């Protein structure tokens, strides 16, 4: 059994350990929620101060040119491209994940319907992050198509047929951390004549992604999770260059125009990925996002995403091992895949009956102890199929092995002392 | 003729003069571009620092509840509502102006088509800000409707008939500063059975707006111009409560869901204006925007938008008077309405032939002297109908009478010495 001392040794020997010093981590906190909101890069405060005082305050409107504000979507996009196997000029930062999905799903449907009008299905997983399903539901309604949701990964192959227009999946499931085989699924969908959109919200910066290698069609992703871009950071969007000239962008704002500063009354989309821009970018939030993305690029000299993946798996395997050994008898079950190849950078736990209704309170009790994870409600109508979960993200840039050990120790204490029964841990907040 | 000394006296006697001290204004600059990017409120740096270090850095994910991040769109929206004649709970901050137009124009078209399927026209002005036209073009194409553009305000009445679905206008024209009579136009459009959308990008914080009084249907607006919210600040969106429950939001992201943290797979729009939210809000940019909006609310005790309007008109009238007196013989023409009731908070100038091709360089020479305005290109095919313009915004929160005087003096010097012929003033930048 792994001891705390073993963990100390692993931290001391960890070649990626120094990457942690890029961040301002609050004292006394074990932060296992980087999959929801990444921590603060030390450079972000100074950078945003510079944007506010110098670029906005002093240089004002000139900064669109002199500070390169106009290039921010492409410049940060090119950095993110290096993390997800895309090439420069193919990816831009813009708007939110939801809005970017609206753009690329519109594009994919238009291409698919032009090539094969009989294809009427959009397929996704019922367990996909809801905003993706809401956007797909909207577009399916508008275009007279059907959004078909599968209940398990095993059902996907049967949907890859002549009815399928677009397969829309999230690379790593936001609840369970299940990691799809992007290359195999994309190839199978292409063989069936369909297009594939990947949501990389829980993949970019968390696991190696090779969009070009997988021959994906479109991808979107989030700036504020593993990319450490700050609360509500702008999102990103990528299209394979084979599609980049081919689609009409329904959210046709002026920043996606071929010549936005000619102020012409007719829309002419910019060549390539620039047409995925819409309105004026939120510069302050963009500046912080760039600092976050830079914390991942700092790992490139140490093996990059491959090295981070190795450490991520070591962290999640240690967590699973310790939970199995120390918490199973307290009613805790591992709800994430045990196979490394199927697991992203997070591990979710569920509590066996009669404890399952205590899941929320257990998470709150852990937070009060400084172990920050989060609670995701199950399906009240079928907790067997979709249990309440305790979700813990392990971001290898800043989480260490001893922290994993201590998090499990706190969980043992919360459960064995029934600390979670305290009233303050059972009051629901607006955001969970 | 007004002297510089007269202007000093007017500044000294100006009861709104103290509002200027809310801002960090760069030394040696006369900033007449607040209609493009408002100046930096002194509170913004500290507020954003607090968000970064305390709310993001220290409290992390807890800040969605503890710092009220989840309430930002409604909280700031309620403040903006006070500036535009809307009531609390009717207006939210979200996304960009372009995206908000996509939402409300989709809504207006859906309502109109449900009530009167024969109405097939969206009407706007060819001189409207292009992004509005691009969004309308997209929706017209998607719904098989026609976007009809009028070339002058006088043509609008003839379009108010049984074919009109939605009239979509910008309250103050971004080039000329022409101010529409919102109440009269809305009433005439309603009498013709159409809905009206107002873009308040150059109105909110610039002129008094009374959305409820005018009985408007929908409105959108910009955060980074007269609201001083910082570069690319989020925009806002309003719907008259009579429509708020009636429309399906095509950009159906999770933040507009009735219960976003129940993570249900089906979209159920939130009641009222909350359904106009889509993705996760950009918190850093929202925090700065709130500081900007507060600089306008600070004027409420001094007469609010009505008092600001009085000063704005005094500033633009002074500018027109001085330009007429001192620059007419140098080839400068006032291109904005001379009637106060038809003029927003800006004045545009054009240069008579043969000087008109020097318009860009004249603006650059002024900028080099610290007088910041901007250049907006005319229609190269018809400069008579749409000349190149030199655009100057007069934001009464921080511009004084002596600055107006000095700006005109600089313009006299740039033209009389032909300073604009210098090579560096004739090089085009990416953003104009």
Query: Hey, is the C-beta of A134 within 8 angstroms of any chain B C-beta?
Result: yes
Question: Residue A382: inside a domain, yes or no?
Answer: yes
Same-domain pairing of B32 and B86: no
A16 in any annotated domain: yes
For the segment B271-290, the average pLDDT, to the nearest whole number, is: 96
Domain boundary among B268, B297, B326: B297
Q: Does the pLDDT value for residue B246 go beyond 90?
A: no
Q: Is the pLDDT of residue B262 over 90?
A: no
**Contact (CB<8Å) A262/B377:** yes
Q: Report the pLDDT value the prediction gives residue B432, as an integer from 0 to 100.
A: 76
ipTM computed for the complex: 0.97
Note whether residue B286 is domain-resident: yes
Q: What is the number of domains present in chain A? A: 2
pLDDT tens-place string over residues A235-282:
999 999 999 888 788 999 999 999 998 888 899 999 999 999 999 999
pLDDT at residue A423 in the model: 94
- Does A96 sit within 8 Å of B24, measured CB to CB? no
Contact residues, chain B, for A234 at CB < 8 Å:
282
d(CA B153, CA B134): 20
In B204-233, the residues whose Cβ lies within 8 Å of chain A are: 224, 230-233
Give contacts of A251 with chain B, Cβ < 8 Å.
98-99, 102, 135, 138, 251
Domain stops at, among A270, A297, A324: A297
Report whether pLDDT(B148) > 90.
yes
Backbone angles phi, psi at B193, to 5 degrees: 85, 15
Examine the pLDDT at A40 and tell me if it is beyond 80. yes
Q: Are residues B97 and B122 in the same domain?
A: yes
Q: Which of these three, B262, B297, B332, is where a domain ends?
A: B297
CATH code, domain with B408: 3.90.1150.10
Most A-contacting residue of B34, B131, B276, B427 (CB-CB within 10 A), to test interface: B131
The answer on pLDDT for A11 being more than 80 is yes
Give the pLDDT band (50/70/90) at residue A177: very high
Reply yes or no on whether the pLDDT at A381 is more than 90.
no
The whole-number pLDDT of residue A99 equals 98
Average pLDDT over residues B376-399: 92
Name which of A134, A33, A338 is nearest B251 in CA terms.
Answer: A134
Give the model's pLDDT for residue B358. 95
User: Are B137 and B237 contained in the same domain?
Assistant: yes
3-state secondary structure chain B: CCCHHHHHHHHHHCCCHHHHHHEECCCCCEECCCCCCCCEEHHHHHHHHHHHHHHHHHCHHHHHHHCCHHHHHHHHHHHHHHHCCCCCCCEEEECCHHHHHHHHHHHHHHHHHHHCCCCCEEEEECCCCHHHHHHHHHHHHHHCCEEEEECCHHHHHHHCCCCEEEEEEECECCCCCEECCHHHHHHHHHHCCCEEEEECCCCCCCCCCCHHHHCCCEEEECCCCCCCCCCCCCEEEEECHHHHCCCCCCCCCHHHECCHHHCCCCCCECCHHHHHCCCCCCHHHHHHHHHHHHHHHCCHHHCHHHHHHHHHHHHHHHHHHHHHHHHHHHCEEECCCCCHHHECCEEEEEECCCHHHHHHHHHHHHHHCCEECEEECCCCCCCCCCCCEEEEECCCCCCCHHHHHHHHHHHHHHHHCCHHHCHHHHCCCCCC
Q: Which two tokens stand for residue A50?
A: 């510079």
Assess whether B280 and B406 both reside in one domain.
no
User: Per-residue confidence at A430, pLDDT binned at 50, 70, 90?
Assistant: confident
How confident is the model over A104-153, as pLDDT tens digits? 999 999 999 999 999 999 999 999 999 999 999 999 999 999 999 999 99
Residue of B391, B394, B398, B405 marked catalytic: B391
Determine, yes or no, domain membership for B215: yes
Residues B356 and B213 occupy one common structural domain: no
Position B47 in a domain: no
Range of the domain at A37: 4-41+303-426
pLDDT at B382: 85
Residues A231 and A314 in one domain: no
| A391 counts as catalytic | yes
Where does the pLDDT of residue A431 fall: very low under 50, low under 70, confident under 90, or very high at 90 and above? confident
- Report the share of chain A in percent with pLDDT over 70: 100
Q: Is B417 on the interface with A (CB under 8 A)?
A: no
* Arithmetic mean of pLDDT, B272-284: 96
Whether residue A333 lies within 8 A of chain B, CB to CB, comes out as no
CATH of the domain at A245: 3.40.640.10
Please indicate, yes or no, if residue A47 is contained in any of the structural domains: no
Q: Is A376 on the interface with B (CB under 8 A)?
A: yes
Residue B48 lies in a domain: no
pLDDT value at residue B381: 84
User: Is A432's pLDDT higher than 80?
Assistant: no
Residue B280 pLDDT level (bands cut at 50, 70, 90):
very high
Which of these is catalytic: B20, B23, B175, B199? B199
Which residues in chain A have their CB less than 8 angstroms from residue B24's CB? 53, 57
Chain A residue with the nearest C-alpha to that of B57: A40
Please identify which of the residues A95, A199, A294, A374 carries the catalytic annotation.
A199
Residues B170 and B229 in one domain: yes
List chain A residues with CB under 8 Å of B264: 130
H/E stretch holding A149: strand A146-150
Same domain, B163 and B311: no
The predicted pLDDT at position B229 comes to 98
Same domain, B34 and B176: no
Of B57, B135, B250, the CB nearest to A142: B250
Average pLDDT, chain A: 96
Inside any domain, residue A11: yes
Mean pLDDT is lowest, of A211-215, A293-297, B263-267, for: B263-267
**B234 C-beta neighbours (distance < 10 Å), count:** 31
Q: How far apart are the C-alpha atoms of B253 and A201, rounded to whole Å?
A: 15
pLDDT digits (tens, 9 = 90+) for B149-205: 999 999 999 999 999 999 999 999 999 999 999 999 999 999 999 999 999 999 999
Band (pLDDT 50/70/90 cuts) for residue B417 is very high
CB contact under 8 A, A36 and B61: yes
Are residues A277 and A375 located together in one domain of the fold? no
At residue A249, the pLDDT reads 83
- Which pLDDT belongs to residue B173? 96
Q: Is the pLDDT of residue B386 over 90?
A: no
Residues A206-221 have a mean pLDDT of 98
Annotation marks residue A224 as catalytic? yes
pLDDT of res. A244: 83
Confidence of residue A383 (pLDDT cuts 50, 70, 90): confident
For residues B285 and B310, state if they share a domain.
no
Rg value, chain B, Cα: 22
Q: Answer yes or no: do B228 and B111 share one domain.
A: yes
User: Distances from the Cα of A294 to the Cαs of A36, A266, A300, B251, B332, in angstroms?
Assistant: 19, 38, 10, 31, 49
Instruction: Give chain A positions within 8 Å (CB) of B285.
Output: 282-285
């Amino acid at each position: 059994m792994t001891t705390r001392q073993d963990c100390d040794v692993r931290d001391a020997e960890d070649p990626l350990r120094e990457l942690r010093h890029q961040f301002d981590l609050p004292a006394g906190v074990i932060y296992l929620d980087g999959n929801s909101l990444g921590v603060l890069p030390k450079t972000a405060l100074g950078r945003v101060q510079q944007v506010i005082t110098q670029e906005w305050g002093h240089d004002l409107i000139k900064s669109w040119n002199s500070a390169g504000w106009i290039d921010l979507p492409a410049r940060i996009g090119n950095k993110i491209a290096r993390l997800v196997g895309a090439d420069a000029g193919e990816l831009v930062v813009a708007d939110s994940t939801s809005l970017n999905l609206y753009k690329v799903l519109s594009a994919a449907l238009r291409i698919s319907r032009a090539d094969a009008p009989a294809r009427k299905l959009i397929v996704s997983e019922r367990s996909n992050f809801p905003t993706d399903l809401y956007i797909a539901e909207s577009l399916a309604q508008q275009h007279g198509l059907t959004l078909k949701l599968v209940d398990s990964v095993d059902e996907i192959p049967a949907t890859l047929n002549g009815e399928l227009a677009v397969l829309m999946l999230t690379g790593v499931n936001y609840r369970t951390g299940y990691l799809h085989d992007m290359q195999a699924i994309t190839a199978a969908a292409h063989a069936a004549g369909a297009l594939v959109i990947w949501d990389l919200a829980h993949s970019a910066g968390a696991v190696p992604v090779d969009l070009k290698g997988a021959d994906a069609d479109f991808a979107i992703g989030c700036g504020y999770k593993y990319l450490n871009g700050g609360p509500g950071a702008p999102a990103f969007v990528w299209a394979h260059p084979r599609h980049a000239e081919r689609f009409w962008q329904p959210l046709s704002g002026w920043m996606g125009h071929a010549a936005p500063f000619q102020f012409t009354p007719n829309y002419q989309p910019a060549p390539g990925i620039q047409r995925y821009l819409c309105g004026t970018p939120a510069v302050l939030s963009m500046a912080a996002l760039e600092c976050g993305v830079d914390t991942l690029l700092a790992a490139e000299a140490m093996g990059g995403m491959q090295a981070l993946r190795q450490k991520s798996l070591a962290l999640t395997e240690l967590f699973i091992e310790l939970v199995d050994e120390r918490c199973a008898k307290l009613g805790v079950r591992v709800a994430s895949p045990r196979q490394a190849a199927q697991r992203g950078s997070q591990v979710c736990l569920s509590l066996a009956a009669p404890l399952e209704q205590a899941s929320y309170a257990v998470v709150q009790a852990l937070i009060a102890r400084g172990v920050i994870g989060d609670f995701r409600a199950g399906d009240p109508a079928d907790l067997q199929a979709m249990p309440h979960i305790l979700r813990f993200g392990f971001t290898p840039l800043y989480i260490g092995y001893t922290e994993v050990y201590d998090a499990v120790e706190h969980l043992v204490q919360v459960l064995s002392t029934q600390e979670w029964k305290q009233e303050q841990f059972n009051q629901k907040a607006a955001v969970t």
